[in-house]
A and B are shown apart, each in its own frame.
Chain A
Amino acid sequence: MTAAGRRFGAILLPPLVFGVLFLLLWQVLVRVTGVKSYVLPAPSDIGAALRASIGVILDASLRSGANALVGLLVGVVLGVLLAALATRMPLLGGAVSPLVAALAAMPIVALAPLLNTMYSPLSTLPRREVVAISAFVPVFVNVLRGLSRLSPVHRELMQSYAASGGQVLRTIRVPGALPYFFTGLRVASSLAVIAAVVSEYFGGLEDGLGSRITSSVGATDYPAAWASVLGAVMLGLLFFLASLLLERVVVGNRALPVA
């Protein structure tokens, strides 16, 4: 247990020390050079802004987080279902894969304002749709790859057992695809938060971290804008860590390497 603790410390300590040093250097540089706060506020100013409006930022994070979570869940479910379908029906897979590639190439920035005009300005739906589309792509691509992998040894082994297609799916393909699914989920969870925050820039409801950032910048309150950015970073990390934790719990050390 102490060994595990020490290992954890060895992983955590270097970035922690680096982060603290980085903030110190930032603070000192801003104070010494006298850079204006609208160019780059000092960490202490951002901290003060964060403290002053912690309630508002938490509330905005909660709304962005809800959009990201709902969109992520929808995207993941769709991604898994469609990948499973494409595996069962290779013809469908061949038809869908280029479309998904096109979807992956589509910039969220272009999509968000268009979807916003489709719905009432009070609806959270367009944002959640943007998130769902962003999250769908990596999950679909990875799960499809995982499900279609069947090593020659396992194929022949199952053939020697006279196993049915359903048995092969259940005993080999699905468990074998799990690490791929979680790789997709890890990418999708980070993308979900980015997509949620970015889609909030483009009109619609006046809530969420994206709206907070635009309104703070509009009011020239730059430390407050940075405080909201900090909130977005925290939210993104939370999503990423949650998916990482889920992966550890489900597949343990069988996980594919990060990235």
Chain B
Amino acid sequence: MSTTGATTGATTAPAVEIRGVSKTFTVRRGAVVALEAIDLTVAPGEFVSLIGPSGCGKSTLLRIIADLLTPTSGTVEVGGKTAQRARLDQDYGFTFQQAGLLDWRTVRTNVELPLELHGVDRATRKARALELLELVGLFDFAGHRPPQLSGGMQQRVAIARALAERPTLLLMDEPFGALDEMTRERMQAELVRIARETSAAVVFVTHSIPEAVFLSDRVVVMSPRPGRIAEIIPVDLGDRTEDTREAPHFYATITRVREALRGRTVPDAGALEADIRADVAADSNTADTNAARGAL
């Protein structure tokens, strides 16, 4: 099945190649297995979401790709390089649940931060930052300070900052988790456009089923304790528009992801049920979802 939403023609090394990765954390009372036997390949330009209940290790996996954590075993390659090499070469951009902007800098100089750290000259830095602010629709706010912006705008600045080094990979850890539903949907549409324009591959961690389905070429469903990949669900929705959210296939895919999440939850069914209920509540079209499930 062709699952790459790639816009780049070149078939070079995969954006991410994870082989047999496990991660064990040593805590005071022994060891906790956070991830076990993870294999995953992300094609150039592909959008992949990691979804699963709390404790399934999806954020840990993202940090292993970013070389912010080292795997206990297994290998990770980013664009054909080791994860560490890719980090040193600034081949990826990372965004967090909190925007993590520096309040004492302007929006523009926040976007310039990585370029500044890597010795890019002032004029080039400025031009690149303004170009990126144009891309995320915040050109007019270049001179503002982060505290003057809304949560959604701050997150867009963080995305612009992550794109500063023209990465081929964008790693995003629940970037819209703290936003209200309306802003969240707008940000999702923005992100689809930005990913298309930059043709970067994206690995996106989320708790929200509709969000994962709307954004992704593939949804990786993970199960907890130990964190494993339960199922990888391809999403075939074509170009995303606001109508995508009303499409029957959208609901059908949501249902598939939900069933996958439910299927492997023997140890902690209660928590997962609650997780799913929250997601359903967040979805304004619950009735339609049920209809779609009935039709399936």
> Hey, which bits of chain A sit against chain B, CB under 8 A?
151, 153-154, 156-157, 159-163, 167, 171-172, 175-176, 178, 251, 254
Contacts and interface: CB of A to CB of B under 8 A. Distances in A.
Nearest to A178: B104
10 contacts: A153-B96, A154-B100, A156-B63, A156-B96, A161-B113, A161-B114, A161-B118, A162-B90, A171-B102, A254-B103
B77 to A, nearest CB: 17
Given A151-B100, A161-B118, A175-B104, A156 B90 contact: no
Interface string B40-73: 0000000000000000000000010010100000
Contact of B68 (A160, A167, A172, A178): A160
Given A167-B117, A171-B117, A160 B87 contact: yes
Contact of A159 (B68, B104, B113): B68
Contacts of A254: 103-104
Contact of B100 (A157, A162, A176, A178): A157
A153 B146 CA distance: 15
Q: Is the interface of A mostly helix, strand, loop or mixed?
A: helix
Nearest to A162: B88
B198 interface: no
A161 B102 contact: no
Interface of B: 63, 66, 68, 87-88, 90, 92, 94, 96, 98, 100, 102-104, 113-114, 116-118
Contacts of B98: 151, 153
B90 A161 contact: yes
B90 to A, nearest CB: 7
Given A157-B94, A157-B96, A163 B102 contact: no
A159 B88 CA distance: 10
Nearest to A156: B68
Contact of A153 (B88, B90, B100, B103): B100
Contacts of B118: 161
Contact of B113 (A151, A156, A171): A171
A182 to B, nearest CB: 13
Contact of B66 (A151, A160, A172): A160
A172 B102 contact: yes
Interchain residue pairs A-B with the least CB separation, the first 10:
A153-B100, A160-B94, A175-B104, A153-B96, A153-B98, A162-B88, A161-B117, A161-B114, A163-B117, A157-B100
B257 to A, nearest CB: 28
B159 to A, nearest CB: 13
B128 to A, nearest CB: 15
Nearest to A175: B104
Nearest to A159: B68
Contacts of A176: 104
Contacts of B116: 171
B119 to A, nearest CB: 11
A157 B92 CA distance: 12
